[in-house]
Amino acid sequence: MQVLTGATPVEEFRAFVETAKDPLHRMAYLLCGDSHRADELTQATFERTWRAWSSARDGDPLAYARRILANLRIDTWRRNRREVLTGEDGPERSVGSDPAVAVADRDAVVRALLQLPVKQRRVVVLRHLLDLSEAEVATELGIPLGTVKSTASRALDRLRTILTDHPEGAPE
């Protein structure tokens, strides 16, 4: 994402929010599995990004905001430690011919993601759901490239096991 040149910082940030709100909300939803909590994480991300806008705009503001969002999610996880999904809501999208199947599939994947450790979940979301390269994920999370590769491999194996053994994404 490019920052507008010649615009005031407020105009730049408004333009950034317009382009980044959907990708950040998707990432937040995939990390926490709850639409309302994703809204809160996205809002907190924008707040922190605005406070550091002079630094964020110098590089890639979206990468800066994604890192803030991932760290906010970790902070939330550390505070709560135990989470329970109570609803089956999420970003509404009709994919394919049967929306009910698409919703059930998405729900199963989100529930399976929530069973992964936070580090594995972050790598899978950034690498496979946001389509970042392994190098970009390593940079964004501040971990070595080899760690990204091994973590992604273990996480995908675990996801396959969860989704094969329990197609609904939740253990019985």
One-letter amino acid at 60 equals D
- Considering the entire predicted model, what is its pTM? 0.55
Q: What is the 3-state secondary structure (H, E, C) of the chain?
A: CCCCCCCCHHHHHHHHHHHHHHHHHHHHHHHHCCHHHHHHHHHHHHHHHHHCHHHHCCCCHHHHHHHHHHHHHHHHHHHHCCCCCCCCCCCCCCCCCCHHHHHHHHHHHHHHHHCCCHHHHHHHHHHHHCCCCHHHHHHHHCCCHHHHHHHHHHHHHHHHHHHHHCCCCCCC
Q: Is the pLDDT of residue 79 over 60?
A: no
pLDDT at 172: 45
What are the CB-based long-range contacts (under 8 Å, 24+) for 55-64?
A: 57/3, 57/9, 57/12, 57/16, 60/1, 61/1, 61/3, 61/16, 61/20, 62/1, 62/16, 62/19, 62/20, 62/23, 62/24, 63/136, 63/139, 63/140
- pLDDT tens digits for range 96-154: 567 777 778 888 888 888 899 989 998 998 888 888 889 989 988 899 999 999 999 99
One-letter amino acid at 13 equals F
pLDDT at 87: 53
Banded pLDDT at 90 (limits 50, 70, 90): very low
Of the ranges 31-35, 38-42, 86-90, 112-116, which one carries the lowest mean pLDDT score? 86-90
- Of residues 162 and 95, more confidence is placed in 162
How does the average pLDDT of the chain come out, rounded?
82
